[in-house]
Amino acid sequence: MSGVEVFLDEAPGETRGALFRNGRPERLIIHRDDEWDGQRLGARSVGRVARIEPALKGAFVDLGQGMPFGFLSGTGAFVDEGARIEVEVTAEPRDGKGPALKLLGPGAGEPRLLAAAPDVRTTLAVWAPGAVAVEGLEAIHAVGEAEDEALGGGVVLEDIGLDLGIERTRAMTVVDLDWAPATRLQGAQARARANERGLVEAARLIRLKSWGGLAAIDLIGTGFDGDRVAAVARAAFQDEAGLVVGPVNRFGVLMLSRPWRRRPIDEILLDADARRSPRTRAQDVVRGLRLALLSNRSAPTITVRCPPGEAALAAPWIVGLGPRARLVADTAVAPGHFKLEEG
């Protein structure tokens, strides 16, 4: 693959989309059918101001779906508790917090959704204007690759001797750039190349994971041209709106801040123990059976066997795969696994 490509994987229960640039996944979006659309980026609603929080310089807004409420910052004196207002989601829920909101004006009536957020297909068109979304088998594989990398802990690029590790803590994203274990590269020029490529890869992975907030990037070595490093970082993040790039400190760490926009991919797919959640495992079953059905159109039926808990969650979506799809709850199959049988 070369240039920019987009992939759309529409399946019962979930729609996923991915953008690839020069063969590498760069963006990933996941919409699940059982999630409320009013909390997605770009959704517009009428909300009720539930509580003013002077200490936070904002207000909590009831959007009609209960807790957690959305948060409207910088309200000043122009909203009162109980007031109806029209708002737009500017950042999706994360870490147990409700969505961040922007005030559009006064509202009327009960809290309710006025306009749904852009769907996955529309979002792909915004990311890559004019590109035709690839669907079917190729999309399933490509989006799966993007998902795997979005959940990964970094990359190793042997050609330039770069070993990049990335993780998110409660306070910030931490990126460690280091020499790959087997590299024989050395010298100022090699170090500069590795650091600049590391900044590009860090930006790609942060976008892919849908992470925001403060990030600390530990560069290889010390004694940098700070202006050059900052310019490379801004270009790597494509000068995103709201991006703030700080100076490289004396320890060789670049600090930057990227606004939160979408719910982190790991939070969508994983549970509190960083394992694939039951909901995600059930969707894996659906996707595995759909992939088998598309790959083998001659088999009259294809049956998927999976643990009872995952079968119960997956059952309504399996029906959407058509009459050739079969589902069996099997206690002999371990959680997170499934078996396919041709009929």
**Residue 183 neighbours by CB under 8 Å, 6+ apart:** 158, 161
How many helices and strands (H and E) does the chain possess?
Answer: 7, 18
Instruction: Name the residue type at position 310.
Output: E
Residue 2's pLDDT is 56
Query: Cα(76)–Cα(103) distance, rounded to whole angstroms?
Result: 11
Do 318 and 12 touch, CB atoms closer than 8 A? yes
Do 45 and 38 touch, CB atoms closer than 8 A? yes
Query: Cα(140)–Cα(120) distance, rounded to whole angstroms?
Result: 15
What is the DSSP-derived secondary structure letter of residue 118?
A: P
Whether domain 151-258 has CATH 3.40.190: the reply is: no
Do 127 and 116 touch, CB atoms closer than 8 A? no
Residue 117: other Cβ atoms inside 10 A: 19
Residue 1's pLDDT is 42
Q: Helix-strand-coil percent breakdown of the chain, rounded to 5?
A: 30, 35, 40
Give the number of residues written for the chain: 343
CATH node for 42-115:
2.40.50.140
Q: What is the layout of strands, in order, in the sheet containing 253-258?
A: 154-157, 162-168, 173-179, 213-218, 253-258, 244-248
Residue 273's pLDDT is 93
- Tens-digit pLDDT profile for the chain (343 aa)? 459 999 999 999 999 999 999 999 999 999 999 999 999 999 999 999 999 988 888 999 999 998 899 999 986 556 789 999 999 999 999 999 999 999 999 999 999 999 999 999 999 999 999 999 999 999 999 999 999 999 999 999 999 999 999 999 989 999 999 998 877 777 888 899 999 999 999 999 999 999 999 999 999 988 888 899 999 999 999 878 999 999 999 999 999 999 999 999 999 999 999 999 999 999 999 999 999 999 999 999 999 999 999 999 999 999 999 999 999 999 999 999 999 999 8
Q: Give 27-94 as a 3 state SS string.
A: EEEEEECCCCHHHCCCCEEEEEEEEEEHHHCEEEEECCCCCCCEEEECCCCCCCCCCEEEEEEEECCE
Reduce the DSSP state of residue 190 to 3 states and report it.
Answer: helix
Residue 209's pLDDT is 98
